């Protein structure tokens, strides 16, 4: 019997599996695969690192296991029904960019953005991808605190402060400036800087 086509198909399958395994393990994104009951079948090294759970323990859990300690962005516990993985499986659709905090030992939290999608193969559940957003979240918080501090100090100084964008539109004016200009913030916001000048000037 001529088995040329079968051999070609086997070789193509081997090539595809090798490429998949290489990409899966080397990916800088955490990846987890589940079956249709939510049991974790595979997980890569980056997922181990991000989630803080060894591969063997990881693959002994389900995607909605109570062992996961997950919090919402506001710090409150996140129920499994809100996990991207659970929603993707239940709703049979792609769910993207769900922000969650993985609570690790000593209360340390790693913030991740999670996307999940159903796998269209019999017996399989979802593919889950994780990216680390801890540093970005810390930077956003630092910027927020810096902005709050600037606004507090700007309102306390005894001089008028007035900021514009590159087009000269007002983006900030402190109370002292508004008082000197005889305006309220709603009148100054977005106006060109010349609007704050005295008519004779």
The band of 134, judged by pLDDT with boundaries at 50, 70 and 90, is confident
| CA proximity to 30, closest of 173, 133, 105, 161 | 133
Question: Which pLDDT does position 194 carry in this prediction?
Answer: 64
Phi, psi of 87, deg, nearest 5: -65, -40
Residue 10: both structure tokens together: 């086997």
pLDDT tens digits along 142-167? 888 888 888 888 888 889 888 888 88
Residue 37: both structure tokens together: 């009951």
Collapse the DSSP code of 92 into the 3-class scheme (helix H, G, I; strand E, B; otherwise coil) and give the result: coil
How far apart CA 111 and CA 124 sit, in angstroms, is: 27
Global pTM reads 0.66
The band of 195, judged by pLDDT with boundaries at 50, 70 and 90, is low
Supply the mean pLDDT for the chain: 86
Q: Hunting for tokens 């507090």 — which residue is that?
A: 152
- Residues β-bridged to residue 39: 62
How far apart CA 37 and CA 168 sit, in angstroms, is: 59
Q: What is the DSSP letter of 192?
A: B
């Amino acid at each position: 019997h001529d088995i040329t086509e079968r051999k070609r198909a086997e070789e193509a399958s081997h090539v595809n599996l090798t490429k998949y395994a290489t990409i899966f393990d080397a990916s800088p994104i955490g990846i987890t695969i589940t079956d249709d009951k939510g049991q974790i079948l595979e997980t890569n090294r980056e997922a181990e690192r991000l989630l803080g759970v060894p591969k063997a323990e990881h693959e002994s859990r389900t995607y909605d296991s109570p062992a996961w300690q997950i919090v919402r962005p506001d710090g409150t516990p996140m129920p499994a029904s809100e996990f991207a993985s659970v929603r993707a499986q239940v709703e049979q659709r792609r769910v993207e960019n769900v922000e969650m905090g993985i609570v690790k030992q000593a209360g340390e939290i790693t913030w991740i953005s999670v996307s999940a999608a159903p796998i269209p193969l019999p017996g399989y559940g979802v593919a889950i991808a994780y990216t680390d957003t801890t540093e970005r979240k810390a930077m956003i918080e630092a910027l927020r605190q810096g902005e709050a501090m600037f606004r507090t100090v700007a309102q306390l100084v005894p001089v008028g402060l007035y900021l514009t964008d590159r087009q000269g539109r007002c983006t900030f004016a402190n109370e002292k400036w508004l008082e000197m200009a005889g305006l309220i913030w709603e009148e100054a916001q977005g106006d060109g800087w010349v609007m704050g000048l005295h008519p004779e000037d």
